[in-house]
Amino acid sequence: MINRMRSVQLLPVWGVQQLVQGHARVSTSSVSLTTTTSSIPGPKCYPVVGTLPDILTDKEFDKDQIHLYFMKLFKKYGPIVKIKTPGEPTTVLVLRPEDCREILQHTRENPVRTPMGCLKKARYNNPFYEKKGGIVIENGEEWWRVRNKVQVPVLKPKYVRSYLHDMDLVTQDLLERISRLRDANGEITVNFKEELEKWSLENICLISLNQRVGCFDPNMVPGSEPDLIVKAARNFMSSLKDCESGSKLWKIYPTKTFKQLQQSMDELTKTCEGVLQEIEANLERVQREEEMSHHKLNMVELLLREPGLTRKDVLTFMVDLIPGATETTSDNAAVVLYQLARNPQVQVKVQEELDRVLGDGTSPITHHHLAQLTYTKAVFKESNRIMPPLLGPVRILQDNMRLGEYTLKKGWMAFLMSALTAWDLEEFSQPLEFVPERWLRHRPLGSIHPCASLPFSYGIRMCPGKRIAEQEIFILIARTLHRYNLDWKYGDLERTHKFVFSFKETEPLKLTFINR
């Protein structure tokens, strides 16, 4: 058996100056492979503190650049590494996509992942939720009871397409906002990431609240409902990331950050409760007046009428959609626009496709238009490969399993590093290059393993908002590049990992939009 020791390629856009090139194949004569769990390579593990000393003695370690530390481990120990930190289960880091697929297949019937402990505690502390956390944090039967019901309207293309026209209008409002925010040279004068957060929030509220909230209203005043929703969603994700990536003192007592998480969650719950009452009242009126045959159900109404879902299940799902979708979709959008601005040759190809499909762009975008944007969709896939939102899926093993010559124990955590796999020369030709063509149907740069890039996770635990986010971003790319040429006048932006990947808050996204 051959065990591949990789020297992983590091991307300069992630703040790494020196690239490590090439491969080294290491045979079983130099790496001991046995069937005992202790043979899984990794830093020396001590009683109580586990492998923590390896981190403490690493002068270059940065908790907000944890992916670089994991890269070091793979380079030193190979594509499967075992670590143990205090308070956490034994963790196996997995790099090779074929190993990732084996773990995902083994856990497919009951894909248990690590719960967001701080959110679970905040929700369980609120008697309103009756100790039910929703699909974001639950596992097992309770998770599947809700997930099995909500995934039909959320992932079914015809339901997602029903919001396409309104999402198109939201994006056109963003473009009007861009025209007002540019200076004489076309550069945005504010941090454009914040504008994308408003755009994403406005889009997701079409679904979770069944209404526009007015994020782009020039007359929006501090303290208004749209302003409060924007701040609550932002504070929710900020405090969630701080709690999950920082110290776990919130487990002992309610820290300031944990209190902020609770407060923002309660504010979103209150907002969704008010909206849900309005939706229920309207649905009752329609039923009373026998107009159901002419009434087109929105997504919340579909969920309310779904057997097996309680009212609080629906409300919890509404609450979870707002901050989660706002954060991840806006960051995804920021990355793809940033990459397009840095790669003008790709822009030209996208614009040629858009001009052919959309014509003069005066008509509303339809799903027939989106179906023809094959190169635009390849751009989105490549953006998610080179700058993914997450390191990769996590699975808590519910029984022992074999992975090659190793035994992984029940209760261990398998961390599938698809983000790092996607930068590996052995999996992708030209991994440091932004090459959307690799995703085209004929795969001109070679075949791609299905588990080599997993930005939305995998299987029945796949992100439920995947199709919604894709539709939002396809519309954004189409409308933006049909109207503007993008430019980036600065150096490489650095990305940090704090629960999720995002651009450093100290480095604003100041894109330049030039009229075509």
Binding-site members for heme are: 463
Q: Bridge-partner residues for 53, per DSSP?
A: none
* Of 72, 73, 88, 65, residue with least CA distance to 13: 65
Helix locations, 47-116, DSSP H = 52-56, 66-77, 97-106
d(CA 401, CA 384): 30
Q: Which residues does the annotation place in the binding site?
A: 463
Q: What is the SS3 assignment for 347-401?
A: HHHHHHHHHHHHCCCCCCCCHHHHHCCHHHHHHHHHHHHHCCCCCCCEEECCCCE
**b/e map 288-326, b = 16+ CB within 10 Å:** eeeeeeeeebbbbbbbbebeebeeebbbbbbbbbbbbbb
In the numeric block, which tokens belong to residue 311? 């009212």
* Of 458, 484, 489, 472, residue with least CA distance to 197: 472
DSSP code of 266? H
Q: CB–CB of 485/454 below 8 Å?
A: no
Can you tell me whether residue 26 is helix, strand or coil?
strand
d(CA 206, CA 472): 12
* Of 208, 139, 206, residue with least CA distance to 168: 206
Q: CB–CB of 388/455 below 8 Å?
A: yes
Whole-number Cα distances in Å, 43 to 46, 69, 80, 341, 497: 10, 12, 12, 41, 22
